[in-house]
Amino acid sequence: MTDTIRQRACELAVYIIETKGTVRSAARHFGISKSTVHKDLSQRLPFYDLRLYENVRNVLDINKAQRHIRGGIATKEKYQKRKNAFSLQSF
């Protein structure tokens, strides 16, 4: 079981580093929960591969710093779509 968890944690880290992805995108890609991804990367990976952990930590810190911007963009797009849909229905 430990080897499977170790392998999964390393694969998650490599995926996030290569794609500059988020915990959410990794969870979706591997078909597991965000909680599992977070636990594998933050609690288990440092024991298995410290260098890999440090690299993935850098990517996750950047994602965390940008999340408020991404959220704002997503909200803006959401309401823009609603506005456009409403404008089309008016005609």
What pLDDT digit, counting tens, does each position of 12-43 carry?
999 999 999 999 999 999 999 999 999 999 99
Element containing residue 56 per DSSP (H, E): helix 50-90
CB 72 within 8 A of CB 53: no
The residue among 57 and 83 whose pLDDT is bigger is: 57
- Give the integer Cα–Cα distance in Å for 58 and 77: 28
Q: Which two tokens stand for residue 75?
A: 């909200």
Give the chain's mean pLDDT.
Answer: 91
Check whether 91 has a pLDDT greater than 60: no
